[in-house]
Amino acid sequence: MSAISSPTARPAPRVSVIVPCFNAEDYVGQALDSALGQTHGNIEIIVVDDGSTDSTPEVLAGYADRVRVLRQQNSGSAAARNRGIDAATGELIAFLDADDFWFPDKLQMQVSHLMSCADCGVVYCGWLTLSAGSDGKFPRPVSPSPYVGHDRIEPDRSGWLYHLLLQDSVVHTSTAVFRREVIETVGRFDESLRRGQDLDYWLRTSRVTQIHKLSAVLSVYRLHAESITRQPNPVNYRARVIEKALATWGLADPTGRMLDARVVRRVLKQSWRGHGYQHLKRGSADQALRSFSEALKLGALDPNLWWLTSRAIARKMAGQS
């Protein structure tokens, strides 16, 4: 008797797909269509409208019989994801940002991996980055087909990822599927972080379970022009998240393996240098100098950093003359 017809075969687990949404009238329809079009059929879709002021509610109304829509005052994506987690009923939980979308076999492949891998609590996948053209429109990506080697994992991006995540945010949240018990252990997204809450959540997750990456490209991340040119935040959230992780867990991963402290110092220095550079480009010499000062504490022999600092000083002096 085949596994499909066997009375003892385990039914396909339900996946709760949580879609935080804010002013995504141009994109949320494609995101929802991609979730509804998954070859894994046992899903529920929960959209949390985080106080949209455009026509997003009208777009969502067209999906009223196929998705569950929750609404709240604008509180940020972390709060929206937490609201979705509270409402989810599935054995597995996936996140899909409203301006991203999936290829049809994404959930099926990831569910299959989780069902066959007892040591893995989260599985993510490769993704395409889609940038707008000069006309502001996004090209239509070609779905990778056939899915050759979809069941393979990338060894250098899989396992106990704490050390890797301290160095680079290698996971995009729209690519991941979690076991519910992992979510329950890790807890909620930190709503005090206006940015960096994803990295914070991944670092916390990396302390309690192995995380595997499928080699297949199954998700699309939409890179908006405004995400590149927007005003930098005065808070360096990336550095804050990394420093919080180090204060909580130190340099050892859950297996006891130690990370070289020099590597973390270099990562933090680069974070502060990049933060300062963004402010320098936007004309905020004072904030740039504060950031460069933090970077110099971590790497005073960096000539490029001293050059950037001199530029910030000159910019500030010119503004005061």
Write the CA distances from 197 to 39, 49, 81, 142, 241, integer angstroms.
30, 18, 11, 30, 8
First to last CA, the chain: 85
**Distance of alpha carbon 191 from alpha carbon 76, whole angstroms:** 7
Instruction: Output phi, psi for 130, to 5 deg.
Output: -110, 115
Contact 143, 234 (CB under 8 A): no
pLDDT at position 3? 43
**Distance of alpha carbon 76 from alpha carbon 82, whole angstroms:** 10
**Distance of alpha carbon 263 from alpha carbon 297, whole angstroms:** 15
* Two tokens, residue 80: 């929206």
pLDDT at position 140? 73
CA angle 264, 267, 270 (to 5 degrees): 150
| 3-state per-residue secondary structure call for 10-24 | CCCCCEEEEEEECCC
pLDDT at position 152? 86
DSSP H helices, 88-196, are 106-116, 162-167, 180-186
pLDDT at position 142? 63
Which domains are assigned to the chain?
A: 15-223 (3.90.550.10), 237-320 (1.25.40)
**Distance of alpha carbon 176 from alpha carbon 106, whole angstroms:** 10
pLDDT at position 135? 66
Give the three-state DSSP class for 9: coil
Q: What is the mean pLDDT of each run of 10 residues along the chain (321 residues)?
A: 49 95 94 96 96 96 95 95 97 96 94 93 92 69 56 90 96 96 97 92 98 94 64 88 97 96 95 94 92 93 92 85 44
pTM (global) more than 0.95: no
